[in-house]
Amino acid sequence: MTTATAPSTTLTAEDRCDRCGAQAYLRVELQSGGELLFCAHHAREHGEKLKEVAATVQDETHKLSSTGGTTDSER
Ligand SMILES: [Zn+2]
C-alpha cells in the first residue's frame, strides 16, 4: 500500500525552523532522504550548503516580501 503524498505541499504556520523554531519558509529534502525546515533567516544563512546536500528545495521565502508591499523595516 502506498501513501499518496502531495508533491508540492505548501508550508504552513505549523512548519517550524529546525534551528530556531520560527515559521519555516524553506523546505529541503535531503538526498539522504531526510527533510529540513528553515526560516527565511536560516535559509539565507545555510542556503549555499543546503544546495549541496539537497535533493529538492522548496523556497517560499518570497511570501515574506509579498505581503503588503512594506519596506525593509518591520515598522
Ligand atoms: Zn531559523
pLDDT, tens digit only, all 75 positions of the chain? 766 655 568 999 999 999 999 999 999 999 999 999 999 999 999 989 999 999 999 999 998 875 554 455 555
State the pLDDT at residue 16: 97
- Position 67 scores a pLDDT of 55
Cα of 1 from ligand 1 centre, angstroms: 36
Compute the distance from residue 3 Cα to the ligand 1 centre, in Å: 30
Q: Where are the domains of the chain?
A: 26-65
pTM: 0.72
Cα of 2 vs centre of ligand 1, distance in Å, is 33
- Residue 65 is predicted with a pLDDT of 73
Distances, alpha carbon 72 to alpha carbons 16, 26, 48, 63, 66, in Å = 23, 20, 23, 14, 12
73: how many CB neighbours lie within 10 A of its CB? 5
